[in-house]
Amino acid sequence: MRTVESNVGRQSASWLRAHSEAVIGFVSIVLALVLGIAGFSAPAEIELTLFYLLIIAFAAWSGGKNAGFVVALISSLILILREFSLAENYSPTWPHLWNMWMQVGIYLLAARVISALRIVTKDLKWRVSDRAAALEREVVDRTQTEEQLRKTLQQLRQLAENTTDVFWMRDFGEMRFGYINPAYEKIWGRTTRELYQRPQIWLDAIHPEDRERMNHRILNCDFSMGADQDYRIFRADGSVRWIRERTFPVRDSAGKIVRVVGIAEDNTERRRLEREILEVSDREHARIGQDLHDSLCQKLVALAFDVGSLEQKLAARTAPETASVQQMSGLLDDLITEARATARGLFPVQLEADGLSAALQQLASNISGRLKVDCRVECDPPVFVHENATATHLYRIAQEALNNAAKYSRATLILVRLVVTNGRLELRITDNGVGVPLPMTRKGGMGLHIMEYRARMIGGTLSVSRPENGGTSISCIAPVAAS
């Protein structure tokens, strides 16, 4: 029973909402008729105009324009009939009739104005409602965005605080750090609090031989030539660690750099392993070169003597095989020359006996003889590198650069220059070939990467450029104790 009553109630409410204007108009008409009946029985001195206006206003505001006009017309008709019914008791004057018709006009005007106000108010209400709903959605979206941003920042902070590499961030052009993760304390052996208070200790901890280069890098923030740097630091306990640092620019919507972030990792153990691998490779090259020189070359020389002796015997007998033996003797001489050049390339004896300058001179002579390229060395005054490991790395860099220039650049002239300026040694190899595409820091072959690694092994830097007059220039600058 209650379910039936509830359904009837819901249906009635739905019908009333759908026919609300008609119901309001009907109620207003009934009120106007009731008021009119009351007016006919009321004395002439009683003025009912205000009551009609209230009913018209109610109809126009609640039921709409049509309901307001209908009620206004009915009220006007009742008013006119009442006035004429009262005419039996007195004679209406023209002013009285004028006022009656003015009241009729006021009824119609009131219906029009109030219905218009209803439309404006309803439109304003809709706009306010829409704006409120939009603001509510915006608040919800912003709340969700802020919550998501908070979670993301929390995850990023957790990632930064638990990684073994140092992650730092600072404003562009400033030394003061905006953030640095706790890994700094493990690698540098210093507290982050101290670094926030005195950003200069970042530079103070860098090895003196790398400090000037890194200071220039930090102040100028040049990202055009790559963002990887290798340098040494002194920990608080005095031990030296190798650091590899990669920096990245952060730009705003206009493309302007506003912030710089970096990742620094302790590269000491990796460099030690790589150095050992490279040293093993160099020792193996030296062993192979020495074996070629002491074994293969000696056997080839002995074979050449035997072939020469055979050539003399055949020539004495004017044997027809003499020409073939002479050809074999010439091929053996060429083979001995090639084997000796290969042995010297693998094991540069002059590097230990006479120094880097003499070894470069011998290398240039071999390149000129084997590959028919004019290769020259400029080293005036002579440079002596006392550290054998440093001299070996520089020699291998020059060897790789010379072979590449002679084989692939189609150069006719290659210049090797070795000079010392302000305590820093520069090895520069320049050719007049076709040139290389730039930049090469990411697209170069294995040879370029090995040269870069050898330069880093001695605390130096390798750069590749194209001179204005063409060709390619490879430069290695290293802090070498030379005299």
**How much is the pLDDT for 282?**
74
SS3 379: coil
Q: Please give the Cα distance from 437 to 299 (Å, whole number).
A: 45
Q: Which of 113, 111, 120, 79 is nearest to 96 (CA)?
A: 79
Give pLDDT, residue 16.
42
Tens digits of per-residue pLDDT, 282-303?
Answer: 777 777 877 776 677 777 778 8
Domain membership of residue 115 (yes or no) is yes
Asked whether residue 183 falls in the same domain as residue 301, the answer is no
Q: What is the pLDDT of residue 31?
A: 67
- Residue 466 has what pLDDT? 85
354 plus 458 within the same structural domain: yes
Please tell me whether residues 229 and 290 are part of one structural domain. no
pLDDT at 442: 47
Residues 464 and 335 in one domain: no
What dihedral angle (degrees, nearest 10) is formed by the CA atoms of 466, 467, 471, 472? Answer: -50
The model carries a pTM of 0.52
Bin 6: left if φ > 0, else alpha if -120 < ψ < 50, else beta. alpha
The range of the structural domain enclosing residue 23 comes to: 16-86+93-119
- Residues with pLDDT less than 50, the chain: 1-2, 4-5, 8-9, 12-13, 15-18, 45, 224-226, 353, 441-443, 482
Q: Minimal CA–CA distance to 328: which of 361, 300, 296?
A: 300
Residues 397 and 429 in one domain: yes
370 and 407 belong to one structural domain: yes
324 inside domain: yes
Q: Do both 217 and 293 map to the same domain? A: no
98 by Cβ neighbours in 10 Å (0-12 / 13-18 / 19+) ranks as exposed
Residues 339 and 441 in one domain: no
Distance between CA atoms of residues 187 and 182, nearest Å? 9
The domain boundary residue, chosen from 347, 378, 408:
347
